Copies of this chain bind each other. A is one copy, B any other.
Amino acid sequence: PSTIRTKSRVFKIVTIPGDGIGVDITEAAVAVLQKLAVVSGTFEFEFTEKDWSSKKYQERGYYMPEDGLDQLKKFDAIYFGAVGWPVRIADLGPRTDVPDHISLWGLILPIRNALGQYVNVRPTRVLRGITSPLKDCGPGDLDWVIVRENSEGEYAGHGGTTHGAFSHAVATEVSIFTRVGIERIFRFAFETARSRPRKKLTMVTKSNAQRHGMVLWDKIFTEITKEYPDVETDKMLVDAMTVRMTLHPKTLDTIVATNLHADILSDLAAALSGSIGIAPSSNLDPMREFPSMFEPIHGSAPDIAGKGIANPIGAFWSAAEMVRWLGFTEAADGLMAAIENVTEAGIKTKDLAGASDTQTVTEAVCKEIEK
């Protein structure tokens, strides 16, 4: 042949669309990723889909097959939609007869745990063309990265229930915090803060009421802070943090918090930046031993499922973070620019006070990528 083409690298991506709008937005994200690959010419994606979902759980009695986690390990990355419909995970009730990964807590949490994804990164900012519900809060006024501890704490799953339905029934939830777990999330958070212009890290706890794990967080934070003299730090209590996020968004940059605290704060962050529909998340294994997982932070939204009106921006942003994690910074930035050009042009779904459907937004983003 007359032209010599550099062979592009092929990445194997497993998608788990899940339930409800998870299906719609995963389809949209795949389309955008394909387009991005073609335009870039330096990488390709080979997609494999798994039908693991609450819907299938209802039919089969399990989320993923026994070797599900091993299956995932063969891929370069996992793209996840949303889970929880027509059965709400919360309504299934606990089952103790089968291992976690094939039963109730069967999808997101076992993947995060088994694949070393101890960091959940949740960037939030007000994108061009998107309106924050806050007065006086435009692009640039709210630009945060929440670093969520993703492997322990309140999600350890320990505890139990005793005395069944009797009047002396007692249930416990045991949060578990380890030095290894705390140190590694702090280091990741400090590195993140250091990589950003403001070099500022806010650590969140509730150590005035939770006197063991949160006190250990405080203590280890003081230690690790010494390793990063170039990063400015401060500490907040989780309750007061919601106030600061709402009333003083400009004062924050990188934020590190426990599994539950960051779960709550990142949903709030998404709302403050305009809609839960735009927010991305990356479940990362910083050791790169296992595939990392990328998912929008919204849920399966049964009320709008299948109507073709779900906001795909959170899915696209998550896709951009996947591309970045795989090493293609320029392509990731290109996708983000394409997204913001589209939102700025007013091509937005209903949750953003727009009138476009999922497909229209998707096509517009694809067109921007081609430019």
**Interface residues in chain A, defined as those with a beta carbon under 8 Å from any beta carbon in chain B:** 84, 88-91, 93-94, 104-105, 109, 131, 133-135, 154-155, 157-161, 163, 165-180, 205-216, 218-219, 235, 237-240, 242-243, 246-247, 260-261, 263-268, 270-272, 275-276, 299
B155 contacts A167, C-beta separation under 8 Å: no
A170 to B, closest residue via Cβ? B178
Query: With A167-B180, A239-B264, A267-B239 as given contacts, are A154 and B212 in contact (CB-CB < 8 Å)?
Result: no
Question: B271 to A243, Cβ gap below 8 A?
Answer: yes
Residues on B with beta carbons closer than 8 Å to the beta carbon of A276: 240, 243
**Chain B residues in 8 Å Cβ range of A154:** 173, 209-210
**Known contacts A135-B133, A216-B169: does B208 contact A88 (CB below 8 Å)?**
yes
Query: Is B90's CB under 8 angstroms from A237's CB?
Result: yes
Q: A261 to chain B: which residues have CB within 8 Å?
A: 264
Q: Is the CB of A213 within 8 A of B159?
A: yes
Residue of B nearest to A249 (CB): B133
Q: Which residue of B lies closest to A100 (CB)?
A: B211
- Report how far A242 CA is from B181 CA in the complex, Å: 27
Task: Compute how far the CA of A267 lies from the CA of B161 in the bound complex, rounded to whole angstroms.
Answer: 30
A-B contact pairs, 9 of them (CB 8 A): A155-B210, A159-B174, A161-B215, A168-B178, A170-B179, A171-B176, A174-B175, A239-B263, A243-B276
8 further A-B contacts with Cβ under 8 Å, apart from A94-B215, A169-B178, A173-B177, are A90-B205, A131-B135, A159-B175, A170-B176, A172-B174, A173-B210, A173-B211, A247-B271
